[in-house]
Structure 1
Amino acid sequence: MQRSIQPAVYILASSRNGTIYVGVTSDLVQRVWQHREGVADGFTERYGCKVLVWYELHSTMEHAIAREKQIKGGSRKRKLALIELNNPQWRDLYPEICA
């Protein structure tokens, strides 16, 4: 099945208040799966960031990239506040996006 492109910014975490990773993609389900399965080498594999704790969909990749840069440019405190505002229990949101 071919999925349509839907730009998104996302945050993965190793655990509640653990290491976090901010990324951007055009296919959120596939990209998070890659992180979870260890297919995506690099930071997320090294630090065990596999739990999708926050995401935001965008109309264009340009908007998504601009938002990713904005989030990455902010402090860790602001990133944690963004997660806490939308997902205070730090639930894994991956099952929801796969449904």
Structure 2
Amino acid sequence: MAQVKHHYFYVLLCADNTFYAGYTTNLERRLAEHNSGKGAKYTRLKKRRPAKMIHHEVFETKSEAMQKEYAFKQLTRLKKETYLADN
């Protein structure tokens, strides 16, 4: 039986109090990558680590998860905070 692959949109709260939004199929591995300095260029900066996973959503397709990531990144800081508080 084939394993169902989940697609996640996630948000990290970085040590410098900024948000990082991303896409992954494995939340634990991705957070470890970010905190080891091997993740995205944004989280490689020492001042941004450690990062804490504060939100994630599950989608059936990569496309849906990435659309959510893109939409989140278009929001202002205030709207991001409101979205995270409401979800």
- 1:12-34, Cα deviation, whole Å (9 max, x unpaired): 0125x911101111222211111
RMSD: 2.1
Partner of 1:69: 70
- 1:55-85, Cα deviation, whole Å (9 max, x unpaired): 1111110100111111111111111112223
**TM-score normalised according to structure 2 size:** 0.80
Shift in alpha-carbon separation, 1:49–1:67, aligned structure 2, 3 A: farther
Partner of 2:81: 80
**TM-score normalised according to structure 1 size:** 0.71
Query: Partners in 1 of 2:5 and 2:32 — Cα distance?
Result: 16
Q: Which has the higher strand share?
A: 2
Structure 2 unaligned spans of 5+: none
The range that moved more, 60-69 or 27-36, is: 27-36
Query: Partners in 1 of 2:23 and 2:85 — Cα distance?
Result: 20
**Stretches of 4+ aligned residues off by more than 3 angstroms:** none
Structure 1 unaligned spans of 5+: 87-99
8 Å Cα contact 1:12/1:49 also seen in 2: no
Is 1:35 aligned to residue 34 of structure 2?
yes
